[in-house]
Amino acid sequence: MSAARTLTEKLFEGKLGRVPERGEIVVVPIDLVYAHDGTFTLALDVMKETPLLSRVFDPKRVALFIDHAAPAPTVAAALVHRAMRRFAKEHGVRLFDVGTGISHQVVADEGLVKPGMFVVGADSHTVTGGAFTAFATGVGSTDAAIAMATGKLWMRVPEQVRLKLSGEAPGYIMGKDIVLTIIGMVRSDGMIYKAVEFQGEGLKTISMDSRMTISNMAVEMGAKVGLFPSDAVAREWYRVNHGTEVPLLEPDAGAEYDEELELELPRLEPVVAAPPNVDNVKPVREVEGLEVDQVFIGSCTNGRYEDYVAAARILKGRRVKDGVRCIAVPASRKVYERLLRNGIIDILVEAGCFVAFGTCGPCIGAHLGLLGEGEVAVSTTNRNFTGRMGHKESKVYLASPATAAAAAVTGRITDPRELLPADARLMVVDPSYSFKP
Amino acid sequence: MARVIRGRAWVLGDNISTDHIISGKYKFAKINRLEDMLPYVFEEVIPEFYKKVQPGDVIVAGRGFGYGSSREHAPRLLKLAGVGAVLAKSFHRIFYRNSINIGLPVIIVQRIPEVTEQGDEIEVDLEAGVVRNATKGVEERFQPPPRQLLEILEAGGIVEYIKKMNRLPW
């Protein structure tokens, strides 16, 4: 007799051949492990410490990304990049160099993450892979080194939460509004150590780009992983983007969860996370009118095709307000190329945006747009901590690309509904969708 | 690493993020060694912490300690500065894991953060699972780490464990 299983239980069962108990410590084989220029230096130090760790278990399952400070803004960063290139060459590991893109986007672009996989990355936003039904989670440099060397890592089996998304989201809502609303509800420590499974009939209307945004920010509520099922939407995405069939993986009806929550999508409205915490979530209309100095549209959270289509809906035929910098950094070269082909880069540039691609720079205050004292930014990134994007007396409001683009045009925080066509549907489920400017 | 840690308390609130501990931007500054980042630890919350902290001192914080980035620089720098243990009402998981891996004790307690004031004398007995605020005369029991994790902590982290035992802990 087999009991109904949660998605998390099915993923562990796939690796262990049995369903482990909550809280049990298990050793899991890892399908993919990656690190980037912000975390690999310490991993390399660890690997040099002992012969047991100074090897790579399988070069095909290890990847390195130069994305945090790319191209190098300092000599220190250039030295890190040089060490990574040497390591990759020596061990035959794939290195995604300057200009390829941000790790979490590139693993999707390249089809490196698939349903059922266990993925660890030395970056907290590795949870983005949950959108692809992978048990994907962030680890530190020591764990990354151990996983690279041995292909295994211990994990504590997390408690599991069903987060039901019911109804259909209004057209002006994006994944960012959904996940910020959830974080505002459960707070930044509300899901510490738990596996959050997104379920419900609302999923049918949530695109893969938006699912990636939602999974990406699961870590901002403390979750170990934010999992979507590989439903019809996900499977169609794999067919169109990678020409592959992936298995249907979803929780069984009647699976038992440690906690159940529900979010009614039709009730959503555009929101922001006000500084200095990600869970300080308010409707846009409550902060409307606040003047902004900089707008950033990009990052592993919101640097995808759908995000710039949403921004283009607002920026087309309009100009970025005088005195405001609007910085757009698509997450990867592939995203950039698709935007280029569809005329969206033209719209961004003609509106007055600064456009680059494939770096984390502005999100972490590394390069390409640090904030000065007293400046206010609207950013599509995932964290608004004090000093995150520059001076400690600067302020960051997190928002969807539509809300960010609206702020760029008016020079103040603005409800995007004021500038969007009434029929706009910002989440587009069809993976072959092309924007017609 | 000693099983009993004694030191003064550095009291912090809720939601202390890895950005508070060490801002991400320093990873790409003119800095290549961890020691060079010490002056920036807790830059915005306890300026010059690295000069003020004494070996064995204990951080006592509220909910959600270690929120944010996976950057292992955060627990490593706390340890390098001399911090003996971090006590908090809850920890974000990557920070917690990183701390065990590098041999920095992280302990979940509820009452001690409520009563502790800056500079109080704190004693942590890892094996017995007891934290004592000697200044206030308050004691709290905690769930000691599982044996495997305690062994990693005692070895001074997982790398030291592997060097000593010539095998992984599992």
Grouped pLDDT means (10 residues each) for chain A, 437 residues: 88 98 94 97 95 96 97 94 98 98 98 98 98 98 98 96 97 98 98 98 97 98 98 98 98 97 98 97 98 98 98 98 98 98 98 97 93 98 94 97 98 98 95 89
**Each residue's pLDDT tens digit, A385-403:** 999 999 999 999 999 999 9
pLDDT, residue A2, reads 63
Closest Cα in chain A, distance from residue B167 (Å) = 8
pLDDT in tens, A64-105: 999 999 999 999 999 999 999 999 999 999 999 999 999 999
Does the annotation place A360 within a ligand binding site?
Answer: yes
Pairwise CB contact (< 8 Å): A388 & B19? yes
Across the interface, whether the CB atoms of B90 and A192 are under 8 A apart is answered yes
Residue among B31, B44, B69 minimizing CB distance to A386: B44
Whole-number percent of chain B with pLDDT over 70: 99
- Looking at the partner chain, which of A27, A49, A383 has a beta carbon nearest the beta carbon of B159? A49
What interhelical angle do B93-102 and B158-165 show, nearest 10?
40
CB–CB contact A73 B157 (8 Å): no
In this structure, are residues A396 and A277 in contact, taking their beta carbons and an 8 Å threshold? no
Strand extents, DSSP E, chain B: 4-11, 58-60, 85-88, 106-108, 121-125, 130-133, 138-141
- In this structure, what are the phi and psi dihedrals at residue A33, rounded to the nearest 5 degrees? -130, 135
For residue A245, what are its two tokens?
Answer: 């069939």
A25 touches chain B (CB under 8 A): yes
Residue type, A247: P
Please provide the distance, in angstroms rounded to a whole number, between the alpha carbons at the two ends of chain A.
Answer: 56
pLDDT of B51-104, one tens digit each? 999 999 999 999 999 999 999 999 999 999 999 999 999 999 999 999 999 999
Six token digits for residue B40: 């920036």
Supply the DSSP string of A153-221, one letter for each residue.
EEEEPPPEEEEEEES---TT--HHHHHHHHHHHH-TTTTTTPEEEEESGGGGG--HHHHHHHHHGGGGG
DSSP code per residue over A291-314: B-SEEEEEHHHH-SHHHHHHHHHH
Question: A233-274 pLDDT, tens per residue?
Answer: 999 999 999 999 999 999 999 999 999 999 999 999 999 999
Across the interface, whether the CB atoms of A140 and B44 are under 8 A apart is answered no
CA of A64 to nearest chain B CA: how many angstroms apart? Answer: 16
Question: Are A392 and A386 within 8 A, CB to CB?
Answer: yes
Written as six digits, the tokens of A435 are 């924007």
Distance between CA A135 and CA A118 in Å, rounded?
5
Among B23, B73, B94, beta carbon nearest to A124? B94
Inter-chain residue contact A39 with B67, CB threshold 8 Å:
no
Interface contact A146-B72, CB threshold 8 A: no
Cβ atoms of A237 and A203 within 8 Å: the answer is no
Burial class (CB in 10 A: 0-12, 13-18, 19+), B19: buried
- Identify any residues that bridge with A33 across adjacent strands, giving them in sequence order: A62, A120
Nearest-CB residue to B170 (from A27, A42, A80): A27
Token pair recorded at residue B14: 């809720």
